[in-house]
Amino acid sequence: MALDKDVFAGGVAVVTGAGSGIGAGLARRAGALGMTVVVTDINEAAAAETVAAIKAAGGKAEAEKVDVSIPEELDRLAELVFARHGEVRLLINNAGIETVGYTWEVPTARWEAALNINLHGVIHGVRAFVPRIIASGQEAWIGNLSSVGAFGQMPAQTAYIVTKHAVQAFSECLYLEMELKKLPIHVSAIIPGMMRTNIFNAEGGEGEPANASGHRRAMFEMMRDYGMDLDEGCRLFLEQMAENRFWVHSQPEMSEQALGSRIRFMQEQTPPVMPDIARQIAAD
């Protein structure tokens, strides 16, 4: 049996933001590996669609409406899942939004949404689930959605980049906490390069400054034209998590490039280096 099936089949998976994109892809893959998948999203109809796709492929899944920006909703989810299933083998803290616009032009509400969904959603997912996982005495895997953006800089995506640097740091410290406490909980930083999803769709730009729409559209087109196939990326993610890897990549060459630039930037202590894509967008 393949390692991922061996590790995950028969367990319960919980995925946030699983109504679309990577969350939906991971939920479908978990279902195909024989897990019971708790598909959660703020968008109830989208979560139901993912559940229908998993069931149509012969898997087991259920939908829950959860807004990860509200810590109490994650507490409620953890309570409900443990009451219903008694265990969680795989927790994927995936829900995230992009935010485009210059720092001083992004309204307060949009800054708060970025921080509350992308960062606090991951922290409170862990805070709500880990005590119950420990109490269950079972081995478990936690994947937090980091990004190649966690290692770089991108002007006019500052809110997003800040949250991804933070999720990466959070995951690194969490990994060490598990080691210190000798807990059988494997922590991974999931690092997508560029995968074809809805994250740069025009609707996602609600609340951003009006002058952000060109940047959003350029990123949307790049992702549509060059993004990796979702199912292939999500298959790779769960394969690497089953191997207990901390670093989990969709496109290792993109990660290596981003990490190499980061290392050089820090060793040489140059000023921040403008990404080519930022120059291109600004010139359009």
Ligand X SMILES: NC(=O)c1ccc[n+]([C@@H]2O[C@H](COP(=O)([O-])OP(=O)(O)OC[C@H]3O[C@@H](n4cnc5c(N)ncnc54)[C@H](O)[C@@H]3O)[C@@H](O)[C@H]2O)c1
4/41 with CB nearer ligand X: 41
CA angle 261, 265, 271 (to 5 degrees): 125
Q: Which of 69, 158, 188, 251 is the binder for ligand X (CB under 6 A)? A: 69
* Catalytic annotation present for 160: yes
Q: Which of 157, 171, 197, 251 is the binder for ligand X (CB under 6 A)? A: 197
Tell me the C-alpha distance between 162 and 115, whole Å: 8
18/130 with CB nearer ligand X: 18
21/59 with CB nearer ligand X: 21
Tell me the C-alpha distance between 171 and 192, whole Å: 15
**Binding flags for ligand X, 226-255, as an x/- string (CB under 6 A):** ------------------------------
Write down the least CB distance from residue 206 to ligand X, Å: 11
Closest CA to 50 of 215, 216, 230: 230
Q: Which of 43, 136, 168, 257 is the binder for ligand X (CB under 6 A)? A: 43
Tell me the C-alpha distance between 5 and 213, whole Å: 42
Strand partners, 14: 38, 91
Find the Cα–Cα–Cα–Cα dihedral 128, 134, 139, 142, rounded to 10°: 20
How many CB atoms are located within 10 Å of the residue 251 CB? 18
Count of chain residues binding ligand X (CB under 6 A) = 28
Enumerate binding residues for ligand X (CB under 6 A). Answer: 16-17, 19-23, 41-43, 46, 66-69, 94-97, 117, 145, 147, 192, 194-195, 197-199
